[in-house]
Amino acid sequence: MENEGHQEIDLEQERKEILNAFKGLLRVTKDIRSAKDTKMIRKAFDVAVEAHKDMRRKSGEPYIYHPIAVAKICAEEMGLGPTAVICALLHDTVEDTYITLEDIEELFGDSACQIIDGLTKIPEVFDENISIQAENFRKMILTISDDLRVVLIKLADRLHNMRTLSSMRSDKQLKIASETNFLYAPLAHRLGLYTIKSELEDLCLKYMNPTAYEEVESKLKSTKAVRQRFIRRFMNPIKDALNNEGYVFDIKARTKSVSSIWRKMNSKKIPFEEVFDLFAIRIILDTPEELEKPDCWRVYSIVTDFYQPNPNRLRDWISTPRANGYESLHTTVMSPNGKWVEVQIRSLRMDQIAEKGLAAHYNYKESKNGENKFDRWIGEIRDLLENPSQDAMDFVNEFKLNLFNEEIYVFTPKGELRVLPTGATTLDFAFDIHTDIGLQCIGAKVNNKLVPLSHELKNGHQVEIITSSKQKPNEEWLKFAITARAKQKIKGALNEERNKIADDGKEILDRKFKQHNIRFISENISLLEKYYNVSTATDLYIRIAKGKVDLAKLRQIKNVGGVLKLEEEKKKPKKLRNHKDVNKRIDKKKDTLIIGDDFNNIDYQFAKCCNPLPGDSVFGFITINDGIKIHRTDCPNAENMMSKMAYRCISARWKAKEVKEHIAKLRIIGIDDIGIVNKITEIISFQHNVNMKSISFESLDGLFEGRIEVYVMDRYHLEELIEKFEILEGVKRVERWDDKEIEENEDFEQHF
Pair type for strands 563-565 and 592-595: unpaired
* CA-closest candidate to residue 65, choices 92, 29, 84: 92
* CA-closest candidate to residue 502, choices 459, 534, 540, 530: 540
Residues 431 and 483: beta-carbon distance below 8 Å: yes
Distance CA 549, CA 542 (A): 9
Residue 112 corresponds to which amino acid?
A
* CA-closest candidate to residue 614, choices 709, 711, 715: 715
- Per-residue CA distances from 103 to 50, 67, 108, 117, 150 (Å): 14, 18, 8, 12, 19
Torsion of CA 629, 632, 636, 637, to 10 degrees: 30
Residue 437 corresponds to which amino acid?
I
Residue 598, Cα to own-chain centre: how many angstroms? 35
Pair type for strands 618-622 and 604-606: unpaired
* DSSP string for 29-42: TTTT--HHHHHHHH
Classify 694 as helix, strand or coil.
strand
- Per-residue CA distances from 260 to 277, 406, 573 (Å): 11, 15, 51
Distance CA 736, CA 475 (A): 38
Of 95, 277, 380, 394, which one is the catalytic site residue? 95
Q: Where are the alpha helices (DSSP H) in 209-275?
A: 210-222, 224-245, 258-268
- Asked if 110 is an active-site residue, the reply is no
- Asked if 61 is an active-site residue, the reply is no
Residue 368 DSSP class: T
Residue 143 DSSP class: G
Residues 445 and 406: beta-carbon distance below 8 Å: no
Residue 340 DSSP class: E
Q: Taking CA 440 as the corner, what is the angle to CA 541 and CA 412, rounded to the nearest 5 degrees?
A: 145
Distance CA 317, CA 354 (A): 12
- Per-residue CA distances from 587 to 269, 328, 360, 546, 582 (Å): 40, 52, 46, 43, 10
Of 14, 61, 96, 135, which one is the catalytic site residue? 96
Classify 744 as helix, strand or coil.
coil
Which residues, at least 6 apart from 89, have a Cβ–Cβ distance to it below 8 Å?
41, 44, 45, 47, 48, 67, 68, 70, 71
Residues 97 and 134: beta-carbon distance below 8 Å: no
Distance CA 315, CA 306 (A): 19
* CA-closest candidate to residue 463, choices 423, 489, 428: 428
Distance CA 559, CA 515 (A): 13
Q: What does the buried/exposed string (b/e) look like for 481-505 if buried means 16 or more CB atoms within 10 Å of the residue's CB?
A: bbbbbbbbbbbbbbeeebeebbeeb
Phi, psi of 374 (to 5 degrees): -75, -25
Please list the active-site residues: 95-96
